[in-house]
Amino acid sequence: MSRGDSPVNDARFSADPLADDTLTRLLAPWQGHTQWDAIAVVNREMARWEQNGQLESWGASPGTPPHIAAALEEYVHMARHLPAWADAARIERAENLFIDASMLSCTLLFCASLPECYVIPDLAAVLQAAGQLDKNTEYRIRSTAAMIFPVLMRGGMTTAQGSGVAQALKVRLIHATIRHLILRGSPADAMRQPQTLVPPLPAQADATLQQTMWTLGWNVSRAGLPCNQEELAYTLLTFHYIFLRALRKLGVGAGHENEEAYLHTWNVLGHVLGIERRLMVDTMEQARVMFEALQASGHARGFAPDPRPELGWALMRTMQAYIPLRILKPFPVLLTRYLCGSPCQDDLALTGRVSIFSRAAFVIVMGIIRGIDTIGRLVLPEFSLSRMLTRVVGYHMTVKLLMDQTRPLKLPDVLLNDVNSVTHSWHNDPKAPRWVNALERYLTGRQEAAQRKAG
């Protein structure tokens, strides 16, 4: 997108030629084997992409079918490079912002970025089909975190020991797989017939996620390509612009230089994910204009049946299930309303299901907290109770959702070790006074754990 312009209309009909061509080669007929067999082999090989340094000389495992090995090796060789305009100093600044925000970052992912990601009807439909989000919400949340953490940890994209690029290449190929399965062929073939209507097929009771996408059905002329460039650009905005906007709403804005460094870092990731540079933004104002334009474009199309309310409430229920204190259980819904505003809460049907008492209490408490924050900053410029509360919720979400390996998503050991190190080395907020840190330790249960360890 040229700076300051509206998103171009053809972005809905543009995908990712490198990843799509790779996928076509990967799923080519293979001596009597099915495409499901090919996908299983590809998933096995992608699981070996753990660190960026491994990609430089990566080769497929012995015994991998030659056409799959060649396609994957060429894809890794061509897609693993950062763009020439990547700025290591700005990336480091963004990493520092993410680490400094720590568990607050997780809260904003769950209560701002993901909800805003769900409000575009076509995109929500793809997300629902691709991950059965209403049934497997927890899995998809963890999968999203499995990309964000390695990208924004120190050296995630810029060092051989990091795993940000490796995780991004997996996601890029997954996007191509989604397109191919929903369209039952390549996007290039679909675009040769602009009025293509992929009819739905009878659903199977025991269908896998991939088989569900195969039977979904899709109207290309109305909805564009699945996981198209417009949707990818919008998703990128939810992870950088919406995160930064939420910090501002909480009264803990990152500052101009940090904000632009954060946007830049996600643009670098966007390049690795196959997003076109014209659909990226460099300033918060450009981001606001593009975000509003893409939302307006998405709302104008609609989708029936509307998948958004169930997706929104599945996300809220998942968060509530892992918040131990009853008094905090309405917090995800109420914070999402506060951070995202009326349009989002209407789209996701978050306007009800919370008692009037809880709503009133949240408004009063947030008003008091903002008042205390304002007064407190006269003495301590970075004092913030709202920061503390969102750190508490983020801590519980990280520990319960991401770190627990007893449930289906098995994270790569390298990533798990990095996240575990960050979580367990997480300490008092240096910007907060001792009594705020003491309250935070109590609400996260870290005070009890410390006492048990001491005993």
DSSP characters for 8-60? PGGGGG---HHHHHHHHHHTS-BTTB-HHHHHHHHHHHHTT--SHHHHTT--P
Q: Three-state SS for 307?
A: coil
Do residues 331 and 323 lie in contact, with contact meaning Cβ atoms separated by under 8 Å? yes
Task: Outline where 184-306 has alpha helix (H).
Answer: 187-191, 209-216, 220-223, 229-249, 256-272, 284-301
pLDDT digits (tens, 9 = 90+) for 222-235: 888 999 999 999 99
pLDDT reported for residue 131:
56
pLDDT reported for residue 446:
61
pLDDT digits (tens, 9 = 90+) for 158-170: 999 999 999 999 9
Higher local confidence (pLDDT), 416 or 220: 220
pLDDT digits (tens, 9 = 90+) for 13-45: 999 999 999 999 999 988 888 999 999 999 999
**Rounded distance, CA 178 to CA 210, Å?**
8
Domain count for the chain, please give it.
1
Ranked by mean pLDDT, the top range of 92-106, 307-321, 336-350 is 336-350
pLDDT higher than 90, residue 46:
yes
pLDDT reported for residue 4:
38
- Backbone angles phi and psi of 195, in degrees to 5: -95, 20
pLDDT higher than 50, residue 121:
yes
What confidence category does residue 107 fall into, taking pLDDT thresholds of 50, 70 and 90?
Answer: confident
User: Which residues, listed in sequence order, are joined to residue 219 by a DSSP beta bridge?
Assistant: 197
Percent of the chain beyond pLDDT 70? 81
Of residues 398, 383, 390, the one with CA closest to residue 435: 383
Ranked by mean pLDDT, the top range of 115-124, 182-191, 283-292, 433-442 is 283-292
Least confident of 57-61, 63-67, 138-142, 304-308: 138-142
Higher local confidence (pLDDT), 24 or 432: 24
What confidence category does residue 3 fall into, taking pLDDT thresholds of 50, 70 and 90?
Answer: very low
What confidence category does residue 409 fall into, taking pLDDT thresholds of 50, 70 and 90?
Answer: very low
Ranked by mean pLDDT, the top range of 247-251, 279-283, 401-405, 445-449 is 279-283
Percent of the chain beyond pLDDT 90? 40
Average pLDDT over residues 258-274: 98
pLDDT reported for residue 54:
95
Alpha carbon of residue 220 to chain centroid: 25
DSSP string covering 58-116, please? --PPTT--HHHHHHHHHHHHHHSPPPTT--HHHHHHHHHHHHHHTHHHHHHIIIIIHHH
Average pLDDT over residues 306-315: 86
Which residues span the domain enclosing 214?
1-455
What confidence category does residue 410 fall into, taking pLDDT thresholds of 50, 70 and 90?
Answer: low
pLDDT digits (tens, 9 = 90+) for 123-158: 887 777 665 554 566 666 777 777 788 888 889 999
CB atoms within 10 A of CB 403: 14
Do residues 232 and 175 lie in contact, with contact meaning Cβ atoms separated by under 8 Å? yes
Query: Can you tell me which residue has the tokens 């995630």?
Result: 156
pLDDT reported for residue 90:
98
pLDDT reported for residue 429:
67
What confidence category does residue 416 fall into, taking pLDDT thresholds of 50, 70 and 90?
Answer: low
Higher local confidence (pLDDT), 11 or 331: 11
What mean pLDDT is reported for the chain? 83
pLDDT digits (tens, 9 = 90+) for 323-377: 766 777 888 898 899 899 988 988 898 877 676 777 777 777 777 777 777 777 7
Average pLDDT over residues 79-107: 89
DSSP structural state of residue 326: G
What confidence category does residue 176 fall into, taking pLDDT thresholds of 50, 70 and 90?
Answer: very high
Higher local confidence (pLDDT), 132 or 316: 316
